[in-house]
Amino acid sequence: MAKTPAELYRERTRRVEDAIQLKVPDRVPLVVSFGLFPAKYAGITCQDAYYDSEKWGAAVKKTLLDFKPDMYHGSAIVSGAVLGHLGCTQVKWPGDGVSPHHTHQFVEGEYMKADEYDAFFEDPSDWVVRTYMPRIYKNLGPLKSLPRLSSMVFGYGQAMQVGALAAPDVAGALDALVKAGLAARDWQAAHNSLHKEIIELGFPLVSGPSTNAPFDMVTDYLRGMRGTMLDMYRQPEKLIKACEMLLPLLIERGVSGARRSGNPRVFIPTHRGSDGFMSLKQFEIFYWPTFKKLMMAFIDEGLTPCPFLEGDWTQRLEILLELPKGKVLGHFDRTDMKRAKEVLVGHMCIRGNVPSSLLQTRSPQEVIDYCKQLIDVVGKGGGFIMAPGCVVDEAKPENIRAMIDFTKEYGVYH
């Protein structure tokens, strides 16, 4: 008799959780970060994915039901309507700045200037509302002219300050905020119900909550790559202080997300701490301390940090041994998986790393050959989850199928 979705849900959860806890599951579990693949596979445009949550939801469900991975790794798609209402300039998205057939793309920049650390430290919320938001959302430009936010806290005597909110241009910005907010609520509601449906179809979500390593928050969204790298030389104390200041906010984001979703696995994409981006010594000074504290805070809360260790971490594997056994799921991209297994065996479950180039440009047989290697070497004794190394936006469907079907057949442990 066919298993019910609820049975499949339990079986799949168990399979993945066993692997994370370093027990030997029934077979090698398998998850895919599909990104925008579902749009291409189901024949809608990427632009549809950013504007029409119904079409997108149908595409995701079709993809899951046709390929049947063990879990759904959510695609982080931000509503095009929300970005449009805000006039977001930090990203270009299909329909506004990039082709309707491609993913959204980030616009690198120094969104916090080298001399703005102190303003940020002194009053972060004020800096974010009056400096940062006007900078990245062109329709919120007028928020610049608001009085300092804390000036409103002195009781009824300050009530007259609200006049600033009705200045015509500020009122326009507030109107944009309300429109964006309404669009965001619709979008969120649609995506929440999609996630519920996916669960009802029998697919657990890999992660509910997500957060970032503190250093990455600074380098991605505040100082930019160039800015952060210069800060490492010119004002290292401030860079470290910013990471420390962001740490509690990023812990809170993960913990509250886990509470809201009931999902204990916290997704943490990691960006500019990998090999090449800095020396091991710099990593130990700038990146690792707050990243480790972040993960330890989740473990203390009974949650499972799931860092996506993007790029190449081959030179940094040993440091991961500082994390407790069986409590973390590490997703590798371009790391040498054989080395990763040697170093982390019996310590940390690893996920990865079928290359995007293989999935996109080679044949199913070549994909199978690669997967066989992974299962034989990295899958040995459990503690391994088969997955692509990267978000597979433009992979060939037949190659994804080959990876999945082969793993289900060949990856059986007992």
Partner 1 sequence: MTDNLVDAIADLKEEEALRIVKSKLDSGEPPAKILEASRKALEIVGARFAKCEYFIPDLVYSGEILKEISELVKPKLKGATQLEHLGKCVIGTVAGDIHDIGKDIVAFMLDANGFEVVDLGVDVPARKFVEKIQEVNPQVVGLSGFLTLAFDSMKETVEAIRAAGLRDKVKIMVGGGQIDDEVRKYAGADAYRPDAVAAVLLAKEWVRRA
For residue 271, the partner it binds in partner 1, ligand B12, none, with Cβ less than 5 to 8 A by kind, is: ligand B12
Nearer of residues 9 and 111 to ligand B12, judged by Cβ = 111
CA separation for the pair 112, 133 (Å, rounded): 11
Nearer of residues 326 and 355 to partner 1, judged by Cβ = 355
The stretch near partner 1 (CB under 8 A) out of 57-65, 96-104, 119-127, 256-264 is 96-104
136 counts as binding partner 1 under rule CB under 8 A? no
Interacting residue with partner 1 among 99, 145, 151, 365 (CB under 8 A): 99
In the complex, the residues that contact ligand B12 under the rule CB under 6 A are 35, 76, 103-106, 108, 220, 225, 271-272, 274, 310-311, 333, 356, 389-391, 393
For residue 229, the partner it binds in partner 1, ligand B12, none, with Cβ less than 5 to 8 A by kind, is: partner 1
Least separation in angstroms between residue 310's CB and ligand B12 is 4
Least separation in angstroms between residue 123's CB and ligand B12 is 25
Nearer of residues 231 and 393 to ligand B12, judged by Cβ = 393
Nearer of residues 46 and 206 to partner 1, judged by Cβ = 46
| Contact indicator for 31, 70 with CB cutoff of 8 Å | yes
For residue 76, the partner it binds in partner 1, ligand B12, none, with Cβ less than 5 to 8 A by kind, is: ligand B12
Nearer of residues 28 and 390 to partner 1, judged by Cβ = 390
For residue 99, the partner it binds in ligand B12, partner 1, none, with Cβ less than 5 to 8 A by kind, is: partner 1
198 counts as binding partner 1 under rule CB under 8 A? no
Q: How many CA atoms lie within 13 A of 128 on its CB side?
A: 7
Displacement of CA 65 from its chain's centroid (Å): 23
255: number of Cβ within 10 Å: 18
Nearer of residues 104 and 135 to ligand B12, judged by Cβ = 104
360 counts as binding partner 1 under rule CB under 8 A? yes
For residue 360, the partner it binds in ligand B12, partner 1, none, with Cβ less than 5 to 8 A by kind, is: partner 1
113 counts as binding partner 1 under rule CB under 8 A? no
**Tokens 């996916």 belong to residue:** 198
Q: Which residues contact 1 (CB under 8 A, 6 or more apart)?
A: none
Nearer of residues 255 and 309 to ligand B12, judged by Cβ = 309
**Tokens 């940062």 belong to residue:** 132
| Contact indicator for 268, 298 with CB cutoff of 8 Å | no
Nearer of residues 40 and 130 to partner 1, judged by Cβ = 40
337 counts as binding partner 1 under rule CB under 8 A? no
Dig out the tokens for 30 from the structure: 């398998």
Least separation in angstroms between residue 308's CB and partner 1 is 14
Least separation in angstroms between residue 265's CB and ligand B12 is 17
237 counts as binding partner 1 under rule CB under 8 A? no
319 counts as binding partner 1 under rule CB under 8 A? no
Residue numbers at the binding site for partner 1 (CB under 8 A): 92, 97-99, 102-103, 105-108, 225-226, 229-230, 232-234, 276-279, 282, 355-358, 360-362, 390-395
